[in-house]
Structure 1
Amino acid sequence: MNILQILCNLIGDVIYICAWRRRRVLLGNLYGVYGDRSEDWRRRLARETCRRMVEMGLVALISPFWTREQYRKRIVMDEADRTMLEASMQSERSVVVLVPHFSLMEMITAMPLILDYERPAGVIYRPLGMRWIERWVKRTRERFGLKLLSRKEGFLEAQAILRQGGAVAVLFDQNAGARGLLTTFCGRLASTTELPGLLAEKFQSDVFYLYTQRLGFMRAKMVCEPLIGAKDAASITYESNRWLEHKLRTSTSLSGNWLWMHSRWRTQDEPRQRLRIQSKKDRLVETLAFLGQKSLERKTRFWIRMPNWLGDVVMAIPLIRALEKSRPDAEITLLARAHFIPLLKALQIGHKHLPLPQKGWRYYWRLLKYRNLYPETYVTLPNSLRSDFEAFFIGAPQRFGIERARKRPFLTHTWRLTQKHQTERWVALFQHFGLLERPDLSPLESSYDNNNGPIGCICGTENFPAKRWPVEHWRTIIQASKKQFVLFGTQRDVDICNAVAHGLKNVENRAGQTDLVSFAAQLKSCSLVITNDTGGMHLANALGVPIVALFGPTDVTRTGPIFSAPKMILKSSTRSMADIEPKEVFKHITGLL
């Protein structure tokens, strides 16, 4: 290993260690393609990529000073590949060459040294900003006869070359931005240039891939492969993506030499449109048909930090379902308190579920492992400094939330609060960031018919004693009915439920005996649920169970049940729960049953 190679590797390692923003992009790209490999494997590949990038930059700087003989010693090409490409370039047909971003690709400008052809040839490149550098680049790269064609003004010249039966090379695997076709690459949304396909279709050109296979430090083998089958512009575009994807997935040496640090998949990420897919050049349907797929792979990583209370968790469900429809490429990960995870899984809400660590001095140390999952967009539903810092700490580049009285400096984008129902606030938040799909408020259970079940009673509240209907009123309802009743509650509600059930034969007390999953199952067995304003109310409503909801000091317009299941809401005019009369509740029970 010579001094230049040691220096090249050292600079690459420094870039990997110190350029942390770019490293994050690099590792996120690798995770999106090689998510099934270990983090250590991806980090080794990332370090190798940085070294190869520096080597490519070094070649760009010193290759202008190489002689023809020095170039020929550093580039080789198999005789079969050379013969195939020369035969095409000497025929009457023009040639379009697709060049991927593998390291040492700069050496393509020396191809006239190893190929025998007489027709004009050029390569389309991205011009540089400084004129004196631009002049130097053109002078040094064109010295062997390959003409550099600016992407800004060289398209007419490229067409002229093809019209003469010449060859034009195009770097086809860059992010094409708003002008490109919205397709997929490695299963993820990507903007792809259609230029090579358009040129090949217009001039009926032969199409080849030409790429560098690294043999050693500043030494490469040029490999040529024909693009077979595709003739029209669209098919050439889709097939070239598929070809490169196959190379990256099957060859470790090539994957380590590709330019992973550029933002190949940065598309559909405008904050105000992030929660929908919208492009004037949307070719996703055509891409799926070409690949033989029925639907998009869910590989765009959206994370949602769930609220801390059961009722709020349930009220967020319509938003998650809407996002799932609005972004069919989204893999939705729900970050929630550990005891909510089994319920969310049972209800099939979200695609992945991660528990928040237990609070304590090691909280963020345990949260650190989630950084290696590389979320791309993070929506935080709680309004707390802790949840904001979690989003920042985990490293999501886009972090959305609602801005209330205080600023939220750890979020990248916010929506200013208006006075609405809690779910409607979240709807407005999601719409602010591009959601078009209207939340589905139909119950999670498609049908509900359980008139013979017991009547459920949720006598307690999670955090607010003033929201509780008096024990005497509960007992009056139970004594006045011949139906069987079941009392639900947490461990903290045991005393209240014991007082309600004392001495009554037609009641079963299950307070403190259920987890959330079994609680949901038992709610579904009820013919009706009478409930205070609490999380269980929202869960019963979401499951399609008819409810009679009792409201005192809380605001129905902000925290009322939202799903379209049968419901009756009784609101105390005095804000006191004691003023809601049992006879009024009994009347509505009879009506719903």
Structure 2
Amino acid sequence: MILVLRALGVGDLATAVPALRGLRAAFPDQEVALAVPDWLAPLVDLIGCVDRVVPTDGLTPREWGIPSPYLAVNLHGQGPQSHQLLLAADPQRLGAFACPAADHHDGPHWDPDEHEVLRWCRLLAWYGIAADPTDLGLRRPSPHRVPVGVTIVHPGAKAVGKRWAPGRFAALARELTGQGHRVVVTGSAAERGLAERVVSGAGLPGTSVLAGRIDLAELAALVAHGRLVVSADTGIAHLATAYGTPSVVLFGPVSPYRWGPPPDRPWHRTLWTQELTVPAGSSAPARAAGAGGPEPWRRDTPALASISLESVLDAVGEADRAGRERSAVTAK
């Protein structure tokens, strides 16, 4: 058995897909067991390379109740808690970043500025396991229970500091509706009130609120068959990447160079710092609006409040056009 730990959320799981597929390819005769929260099981099914879900709630110590793994792989973090949790499963070998505090000296050193997808591919490469960082796609679920071709506005995020103002999301939804987009507003059950506030401010019918009304599998189907996604730096943005659905992602405290979509997909746009549109995955120094000259990306990025409605609308237009152009080429 290959036991893999990734007990986090939607975006975390989506960014680990290339590593999971690399492990599957490297060990075709081994059962691949993934330790994740049980609510993520529908998304695990869409990856297509995991044999068993082992429900795991964070890094709480536990009795594994599974056979001793041939290999335990830490795709959760740099340790020591995550390392120790996997070592409790008594694996023959641990694949993880070096962590003296967990008495694990094998493995590469952790790079805090590395893109999350590349991080786990590099970890596997250290152990001689190949993984393709572009292999981010998920199985496309049937849309029979969700609307098709809608523009999805997702105002929530688990971290409040990643959220754009609800009033701006409402203004965005109103403008997009005026441009002919069929807008729906998504979120968790806990974000239902936030979604209702956005829909009310946009003058949309209550049926536009899907927050708390669809499950994770249905959210994946909604994105897979959607026209466009506008969201904060949160899980649904990674679903848009997985399905190639045009998207605009608003980044605040965390850099898009760590969590953004790949650089070769112009139908994904990221916004970070004041009124600045960043081509997905760009690594070149950029200039902030109003600055006197070019400057590198700063770690203390301006608040999300500095991202204007106009810049988001411009980015939406660019992503939407790029998506249509790609579809036209694909259809030929």
Q: Could you say whether these structures have the same fold, taking a TM-score greater than 0.5 normalized by the shorter chain as the test? A: yes
TM interval, short-chain normalised? 0.7 to 0.9
Deviations 1:116-170 (A, max 9, x none): xxxxxxxxxxxxxxxxxxxxxxxxxxxxxxxxxxxxxxxxxxxxxxxxxxxxxxx
Q: Which of 562-571 and 477-486 deviates more?
A: 562-571
Aligned residues of 1:399 and 1:412 also touching (Cα < 8 A): no
2:170 is the counterpart of 1:475: yes
How far residue 305 of structure 1 moved from its aligned partner, in angstroms, is 0.7
2:114 is the counterpart of 1:414: no
Aligned letter for 1:429? L
How far residue 379 of structure 1 moved from its aligned partner, in angstroms, is 0.4
2:10 and 2:115 map into 1 onto residues whose CA distance is: 16
2:209 is the counterpart of 1:493: no
2:260 is the counterpart of 1:571: no
1:358 and 1:467 map into 2 onto residues whose CA distance is: 21
Aligned letter for 1:488? T
Alignment of 1:1-400 (within 5 A): 301-356=1-56, 364=62, 367-370=63-66, 373-383=67-77, 384-400=79-95
Aligned residues of 2:38 and 2:53 also touching (Cα < 8 A): no
1:434 and 1:338 map into 2 onto residues whose CA distance is: 30
Consecutive unaligned residues in structure 1, runs of 5 or more: 1-300
1:346 and 1:540 map into 2 onto residues whose CA distance is: 14
- Of the two, which has the highest radius of gyration? 1
1:303 and 1:359 map into 2 onto residues whose CA distance is: 15
Deviations 1:433-476 (A, max 9, x none): 112343343533589xxx971110111111x2121111121111
Aligned letter for 2:107? T
1:544 to 244, 253, 256: 244
Distance change >3 Å, CA 517–CA 348, structure 1 → 2: same
Q: CA RMSD in A?
A: 2.9
Distance change >3 Å, CA 581–CA 511, structure 1 → 2: same
Deviations 1:157-187 (A, max 9, x none): xxxxxxxxxxxxxxxxxxxxxxxxxxxxxxx
Deviations 1:185-215 (A, max 9, x none): xxxxxxxxxxxxxxxxxxxxxxxxxxxxxxx
Q: Give the number of the structure with larger relative contact order, counting CA–CA contacts within 8 Å between residues 6 or more apart.
A: 2
Q: TM-score, normalised by structure 2?
A: 0.76
2:310 is the counterpart of 1:589: no
Distance change >3 Å, CA 357–CA 569, structure 1 → 2: closer
Q: How many residue pairs align between the two structures?
A: 284
Aligned residues of 1:308 and 1:336 also touching (Cα < 8 A): yes
Aligned residues of 1:456 and 1:523 also touching (Cα < 8 A): yes
2:8 and 2:262 map into 1 onto residues whose CA distance is: 18
Aligned residues of 2:80 and 2:101 also touching (Cα < 8 A): no
1:564 and 1:307 map into 2 onto residues whose CA distance is: 29
How far residue 355 of structure 1 moved from its aligned partner, in angstroms, is 1.2
Counterpart in the other structure of 1:3: none
Consecutive unaligned residues in structure 2, runs of 5 or more: 142-146, 275-300, 321-332
1:540 and 1:356 map into 2 onto residues whose CA distance is: 26
1:345 and 1:522 map into 2 onto residues whose CA distance is: 16
1:423 to 93, 117, 127: 117
Q: TM-score, normalised by structure 1?
A: 0.44
1:380 and 1:390 map into 2 onto residues whose CA distance is: 9
Aligned residues of 1:341 and 1:354 also touching (Cα < 8 A): no
Which structure dedicates a bigger proportion of its chain to helix? 1
Aligned letter for 2:211? A
